[in-house]
Amino acid sequence: MQTAVEQRVLVVNAGSTSLKLSVVSEDGSSDPVGSIADVAHDVDAVAHRVVHGGSRFREPVVVDDAIERELRALAELAPLHNGPAIAAMDDARRLLPAVPHVAVFDTAFHATLPAEAWAYAVPRRWREEWGIRRYGFHGLSVQWAAEQVAEPRLVVCHLGGGCSVTAVRDGRSVDTTMGYSPLDGVPMATRSGSIDPEIPLHLLRAQLLRLEELEHALEHESGLLGLSGVSGSVEELQGSDDPLSRLALAVFSHRVAGAVAAMAASLGGLDALVFTAGIGENSAPVRADVCGRLGFLGVELDPDRNESARPDAEIAAQGAPARVVVLRAREDVVAARAARARLAI
């Protein structure tokens, strides 16, 4: 009897701060690789994480030249993400021309957002003709969290180089902080998050900044870096006694906690809170500060469990009404699984 050959998928994850490559087996185990060329003869398909699929892409799609051209047209909606993803896609298709390539979209998980959550209060034409709406991001990460922490009313804090907070009811996204682009929501490492729209209008109207300078400042010079003036790294800021570093961390925790409360309002309560991605998984002080502001939602940490937590771990105090979980982000597993389903392998 012939033994079935295991299908291995290379996952190309071009994020805002890094390029991660891993080979994911059918059992969900993954091995990091240094370059695409290292696995040229050892994979059966390639899954590409693409952050912004716009209104066009809500399901995984097999990549060809026409699809790649459509994806290029979306690059300006997520300049820190889609551009690097397409560049990596080019490299992978050139180095691995004999295997299928599948684009998997972060926005797809948020296709379940109700109209009250995705609609902006802007002219109707903007929404209907120009696609101005809330899309939501970090969908692969949030989907993994929803599968691992299967509670009816779940809030997922994906806190890394980019940060978002999402409300998940019975496994479906119902509200999220990121909007039309990954610039919206809570402050991030170098991105501003939500600000009064009059601010950029004023800066442009008064000719204090050109459009390109404004975009660069909001994407690369704001967030924790803009608040502290020295760094967008939580780890570095936590090691500093500078008042502006303290302010940056306080603003971050304040805004994340406020976002969790807003998501809980969308859910009608809170059964579990997940922290994932680089900051969420590794910063016990951030978790403690955020959770310390959420006691009214039944969130209470066990300080010792929080301090020693390594993903995956439960860190809520014994008997607390809401679970709190530190979870390792596994976007690669979700992307590989989606590619296999699309290709039926």
Domains of the chain: 9-108+332-343 (3.30.420.40), 150-326 (3.30.420.40)
What residues does 30 pair with on adjacent strands?
A: 24
Closest residue by Cα to residue 292 from 263, 331, 320? 320
Write the single-letter amino acid at 171. G
Task: Give the span between the Cα atoms of 253 and 242, in whole angstroms.
Answer: 17
- Asked if pLDDT for residue 302 goes beyond 80, the answer is yes
173 backbone dihedrals φ, ψ, rounded to 5°:
-70, 130
- pLDDT for res 3: 37
Give yes or no for a contact between 253 and 284, defined as CB atoms under 8 angstroms apart. Answer: no
- Whole-number average pLDDT of the chain: 92
pLDDT digits (tens, 9 = 90+) for 134-146: 999 999 999 999 9
Coil/strand/helix, residue 75: helix
Counted residue by residue, the chain has a size of: 345
pLDDT at 72 over 90: no
pLDDT at 54 over 80: no
Provide the pLDDT for residue 23: 93
The pLDDT of residue 80 is 63
Assign 95 to helix, strand or coil.
helix
- Among 90, 106, 242, 302, the active-site one is 106
Q: Is 31 among the residues known to form the active site?
A: no
Whether 15 shows a pLDDT value over 70: the answer reads no
Residue 40 has pLDDT above 80, yes or no: no
Q: Tell me the CA distances in angstroms from 334 to 3, 293, 307, one per residue in order.
A: 26, 32, 28
Q: Which of 35-39, 136-140, 200-204 has the lowest mean pLDDT?
A: 35-39
Write b or e for each residue in 254-273: b if 16 or more Cβ atoms lie within 10 A of its Cβ, otherwise e: ebbbbbbbebbebbeebbbb
User: How far apart, in whole angstroms, are the C-alpha atoms of residue 68 and residue 82?
Assistant: 11
pLDDT of res. 121: 98
Mean pLDDT throughout 309-329?
A: 97
- Cα torsion 170, 173, 175, 178 to 10°: value is 150
Q: For residue 288, give both structure tokens.
A: 């403690």
